[in-house]
Structure 1
Amino acid sequence: MSAVEPLSSDHPPLGAREASELFADLAAEDRLLVAVSGGPDSVALLSLLTEWSREPGRPAVMAATVDHGLRAASAGEAVAVAALCARLGVPHRILRWEGDKPSSRLQERARAARYALLAQEAERLGGAVLVTAHTLDDQAETLLMRMARGSGPSGLAGMRRRAVWHGTVLVRPLLGVPKARLVATAQARGLSFVTDPSNGDPRFARARWRALAPLLAGEGLDAERLSLLAGRLARLDEAVAARADAVAAALLSAEPGAPLLRLDFEALRQEPEEIVLRVVALALARLDVDAEGAVRLERLEACVAALLQAAQAGLPLTRTLAGTVLTLRRDGELALRPEGPRRRGIHPAAT
């Protein structure tokens, strides 16, 4: 490992007091599993968190490195992380992504494999909280990528500081910290790190967005501004989600002994369209036809628009979406049932 980026007075390293504030909500946890790739962000996080955890009553810290096996150097980098953890007194495991690697959507599938391996390790450790080193820059890139994909409000809220991924609690304590400050932190502490060459590979979408960052910042759309937007959207999303949950509880009912839901669509259409969309998405998720995929937002929007138009005219309508048959009656009741042998994926957020 080697540090290659120069120190900058514009980006001071994180100190113990600031780190303590960032980690405050982790104090009540029993154990933490830190994901350490060997890059400057995760190396700095590991060092700061290990130092913080030495105070009485703090949670135990463990670490894991995922070796994706995609580069010849990855195995050696994982061993170097293990050596660093040994020096810091942190238990460490190398998790390997075994089997044939995909020829398409490589970064997306590598990310899914990485989180699956880390979640398994967290479970093995007795339900440890997974801690990652996502930064302010990562949040900005994520927001831009989701905007380009046409994500809805939930997606544009960006990454959350605390989330649950397949039953594993995931915390990102450095989400408001610029990457440059973590590079400075690693250097100030004499910690060596690696730079993954894929971070600048234009074959990958995130690298292309990263290359555009200076140009966007020059127009005022820097990481801080994008992160602020994500935070505001997250605040709005929480309020809308709470209203949608309340409306669904009042208007959605299950048919006893049958995979059938009934929704008072006539009452629902009096709500703002965003609430209508979310309640229908919640109904689809409740049927749980196929949890492996996600209904695209534009398909949900088109289906709900057709239902609203039919309800306005007092006409019946049948549509299929995400492996579900939606049948609107003239009286405004909407029935939802599984489509049958042909199955499609759904996702409760529908973003």
Structure 2
Amino acid sequence: MSLPPADPAFRVHAALDRLAGDLPAIGIAVSGGGDSIALMHMIAEWGRGRRIMVATVDHGLRPESRDEARQVGRAARALDLPHATLLWQRGTETGNLMANARDARLRLLAGWAQRNDLPAVALGHTADDQAETLLMRLARGSGIDGLASMAEWRDRFGIRWLRPMLAAGRQPLRDWLRARGIGWIDDPSNENEDFDRVRIRKAIQAMGLDVPALARAANHIQEARDALSHYAAHAARDAVARDGSLTLPRRAYGDAPPEIRRRLIVAACRWVTGADYPPRRNTAIHALNAIATGHRVTLDGTLIEPEGDRIRLFRETAAALRAPDVQNGIWDNRWHVSGLKPGQHVAALGLGQVARVKWRLSGLGRDEAAASPAVWEGDRLVAAPLIRPAAPYDVRPVRIASDFHRLVMAH
């Protein structure tokens, strides 16, 4: 028997058909709260015949978290779904605790999904999350990117993240659970007004704001954001990528409105560095002002150099010198490196060694050469393969031109 459209499961199942209908397997991130418990049950109903797995991230921020993860495990196994608990081992992170926890959660889930050959992980964000996020970011003075709605899907950390519940409200989901006798865990931190989201949530309730209307407003902003992204992609069509550096045509950049220029520069910096997040808006605006006056400027580890009819963006030497040795075959999040022998490591060539390797013959600029990968044995320079190819060493850029265009559209 088909479910009526008013039933939240109807909307979630329709979204799953759209987002994951062709996937043979899917993971579900389940905290134990009402939203994610509803998601787990709805996917279990929808996904018969598919391989479905469940994971809970235990951030260790509350004494009860371990037992709550066990409760989720029992609920998953009752649905014949394998469950894993992923522990966050807090390191020396500084700054916003909740932001660090959120980032760690995604990284842990991505690793779990990759180990289990899961192409996508479903998250339990709802229309209420859309509304709360819109008001939180509005209060912070966010631009159109911050105010736009969460996308139904996005790719990050090598995994596709799905949000099939964005059209469902928090209260209807809990009503759906109650009607079926399904329990969930109420996290006491959801009442802690030290957190912005809790204060916003209570303000929405106190003012009687229409959550679906706020979620629709975020969707309208998302549509405007998409239009800007298409404009920026058109302005970026003649960008040239070479040896880890990017060149933008200055005329197309200069003819574009300020917001499009910002998008181009932010995407270009992320392309050069491989950063997960864009530069802060204020620092990006400072860089745009410098470019407008023809001055060279550094933005988040990227050197930006207006030069004649073009704008060149490449890795800042000082940032490259701070990069650790090769990890999983990649150096500085920019280069695939192979051919290293025992006792050898990779570090930036550095300005002090540039003259030794006759950098002008490579076609690179001096700063580009200084930030390029070099092979070392202790303090002895062995090779600078980007400048002068030397067997058996091979270096290839992690990103190509199409990745820049993807970042322009994704920003």
On whether the aligned pair clears a TM of 0.5, the verdict is yes
1:23 equivalent to 2:16? Answer yes
1:270 equivalent to 2:270? Answer no
Equivalent residue number for residue 253 of structure 1: 240
1:326 equivalent to 2:304? Answer yes
Unaligned 5+ residue runs, structure 1?
1-11, 311-315
Greater RCO, 1 or 2 (C-alpha within 8 Å, sep 6+): 1
Any idea what SS the aligned residue of 2:311 has?
A: strand
Letter paired with 2:216 = L
Shift of 1:328: 2.4
Shift of 1:22: 3.1
Shift of 1:229: 1.7
C-alpha contact 2:29 2:124 (8 A) present in aligned 1: yes
Shift in CA distance, 293/36, structure 1 to aligned 2, threshold 3 Å? closer
C-alpha contact 2:270 2:277 (8 A) present in aligned 1: no
Equivalent residue number for residue 362 of structure 2: none
C-alpha contact 2:27 2:118 (8 A) present in aligned 1: no
Equivalent residue number for residue 212 of structure 2: 224
Equivalent residue number for residue 7 of structure 2: 14
Letter paired with 2:300 = A
Any idea what SS the aligned residue of 1:34 has?
A: strand
Shift in CA distance, 23/277, structure 1 to aligned 2, threshold 3 Å? same
Any idea what SS the aligned residue of 2:236 has?
A: helix
C-alpha contact 2:30 2:37 (8 A) present in aligned 1: yes
Shift of 1:39: 0.9
Letter paired with 1:282 = A
C-alpha contact 1:317 1:328 (8 A) present in aligned 2: yes
1:297 equivalent to 2:281? Answer yes
Letter paired with 1:131 = A
CA distance in 2, matches of 1:87, 1:144: 38
1:149 equivalent to 2:134? Answer no
Any idea what SS the aligned residue of 1:182 has?
A: helix
Equivalent residue number for residue 33 of structure 1: 27
CA distance in 1, matches of 2:95, 2:311: 39
Shift in CA distance, 338/18, structure 1 to aligned 2, threshold 3 Å? closer
CA distance in 2, matches of 1:51, 1:184: 17
Shift in CA distance, 215/306, structure 1 to aligned 2, threshold 3 Å? farther
CA distance in 2, matches of 1:198, 1:103: 21
The structure whose Rg is larger is 2
Shift in CA distance, 52/342, structure 1 to aligned 2, threshold 3 Å? closer
Any idea what SS the aligned residue of 1:299 has?
A: helix
C-alpha contact 1:139 1:175 (8 A) present in aligned 2: yes
Unaligned 5+ residue runs, structure 2?
323-331, 334-403
CA distance in 2, matches of 1:293, 1:154: 12
Equivalent residue number for residue 234 of structure 1: 222
Relative to the length of structure 2, the TM-score reads: 0.71
1:335 equivalent to 2:329? Answer no
CA distance in 2, matches of 1:66, 1:82: 11
Shift in CA distance, 23/201, structure 1 to aligned 2, threshold 3 Å? same
CA distance in 2, matches of 1:217, 1:114: 32
Identity between Structure 1 and Structure 2 (%): 33
Equivalent residue number for residue 244 of structure 1: 232
Equivalent residue number for residue 44 of structure 1: 38
C-alpha contact 2:88 2:105 (8 A) present in aligned 1: yes
Equivalent residue number for residue 61 of structure 1: 52
Equivalent residue number for residue 9 of structure 1: none
Shift of 1:263: 2.4
C-alpha contact 1:27 1:59 (8 A) present in aligned 2: no
Shift of 1:306: 4.0
C-alpha contact 2:270 2:276 (8 A) present in aligned 1: no
Q: What whole-Å deviation, never above 9, does each CA across 1:259-294 have from its counterpart, x for those lacking one?
A: 543322233211222222222223222322x62653
Relative to the length of structure 1, the TM-score reads: 0.83
CA distance in 2, matches of 1:104, 1:317: 32
Equivalent residue number for residue 265 of structure 2: 280
Shift in CA distance, 22/260, structure 1 to aligned 2, threshold 3 Å? closer
Q: What whole-Å deviation, never above 9, does each CA across 1:140-188 have from its counterpart, x for those lacking one?
A: 1112222233332222213111111211101111111110011111111
C-alpha contact 2:144 2:221 (8 A) present in aligned 1: yes
Equivalent residue number for residue 98 of structure 1: 89
CA distance in 1, matches of 2:176, 2:7: 6
